[in-house]
């Protein structure tokens, strides 16, 4: 893996034009955009490990490689193109390796349980994995008090939950925990229900709860203008969940994606908020 990633172009990892992250960063302060892109690229590269592997054992081995790579980053000798690009910023990002290790460990823990006991437990697991990195991302555009930092972090973790629900089939297929037992208990599974319909009914319960939490978190987000990347991504996630709901929550059959033009319009509207 080291030789392969050492030769990969950095642009292959950064948020691409048309992606949600591209539009979320579009109206962030210019000076912050390069580091934001690197941080989110690192998040994506680690978080997608299970989906990019043929089985959980291989995924756990690759996550172990990332733990070693983060140790190399701390030692000033990283191998991956992303960690090499982040090395010059390490002094200004003192919590980077701790946050990235939390993501590695949290991603691994999701491979070690079949499902979450409750929706709250799922959010707690996602927050343990993604929350520290969200704190670091938010700090690139806003200086927050302790009272402000926590709700902003949790909103970022809710965004991760929204995209996980959209990608239900990919995540379930990877062996990672996604489904919450209280959502499953809220429906009755008839013997004639096929997989697509069963997942649609379960995710409909989850989606409604996640959407309400995202909307409430955005309405009360502290320093919203300075936290524009988070606020924009939240609005994009809300619009995506609305489309999934309008499609009958058929996440087992298809993956909903907003058009680039709509994403740009949402980003522009958030800029004017």
For residues 25-31, give the mean pLDDT: 95
pLDDT digits (tens, 9 = 90+) for 140-171: 999 999 999 999 999 999 999 999 999 999 99
pLDDT digits (tens, 9 = 90+) for 220-231: 999 999 999 999
CATH topology of domain 2-272: Farnesyl Diphosphate Synthase (1.10.600)
pLDDT digits (tens, 9 = 90+) for 102-115: 999 999 999 998 89
Tell me which residue has tokens 């941080």: 39
Eight-class DSSP state of 67: H
- Write out the two tokens for 233: 């991504």
pLDDT band at 192 (very low <50, low <70, confident <90, very high): low
- As beta bridge partners, residue 180 has 116
Task: Tell me how far apart the alpha carbons of residues 201 and 208 are, in angstroms, rounded to a whole number.
Answer: 11
Q: How many CB atoms lie within 10 A of CB 64?
A: 12
Q: How many CB atoms lie within 10 A of CB 113?
A: 12
pLDDT at 186: 82
| 189: pLDDT strictly greater than 70 | no
pLDDT band at 2 (very low <50, low <70, confident <90, very high): very low
pLDDT digits (tens, 9 = 90+) for 114-140: 899 999 999 999 999 999 999 999 999
Task: Tell me how far apart the alpha carbons of residues 18 and 69 are, in angstroms, rounded to a whole number.
Answer: 30
């Amino acid at each position: 893996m080291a030789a392969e990633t050492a030769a990969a172009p950095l642009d292959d990892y950064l948020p691409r034009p048309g992606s949600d992250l591209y539009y979320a960063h579009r109206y962030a302060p210019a000076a912050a955009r390069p580091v934001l892109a690197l941080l989110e690229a690192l998040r994506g590269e680690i978080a997608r490990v299970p989906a990019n592997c043929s089985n959980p054992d291989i995924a756990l081995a690759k996550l172990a490689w990332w733990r070693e790579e983060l140790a190399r980053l701390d030692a000033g000798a990283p191998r991956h193109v992303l960690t090499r690009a982040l090395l010059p910023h390490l002094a200004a990002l003192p919590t980077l390796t701790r946050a990235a290790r939390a993501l590695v460990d949290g991603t691994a823990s999701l491979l070690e349980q079949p499902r979450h006991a409750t929706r709250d437990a799922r959010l707690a697991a996602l927050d343990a994995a993604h929350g520290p990195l969200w704190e670091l991302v938010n700090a690139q555009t806003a200086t927050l008090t302790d009272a402000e930092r926590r709700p902003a972090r949790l909103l970022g973790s809710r965004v991760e939950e929204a995209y996980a629900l959209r990608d239900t089939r990919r995540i379930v297929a990877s062996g990672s925990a996604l489904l919450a037992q209280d959502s499953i208990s809220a429906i009755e599974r008839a013997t004639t229900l096929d997989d697509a319909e069963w997942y649609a009914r379960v995710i409909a319960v989850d989606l409604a709860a996640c959407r309400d939490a995202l909307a409430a978190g955005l309405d009360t987000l502290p320093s919203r203008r300075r936290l524009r990347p988070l606020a924009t991504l939240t609005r994009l996630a809300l619009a995506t969940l609305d489309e999934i709901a309008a499609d009958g929550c058929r996440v087992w059959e298809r993956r909903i994606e907003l058009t680039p033009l709509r994403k740009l319009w949402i980003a522009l509207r958030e800029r004017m908020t």
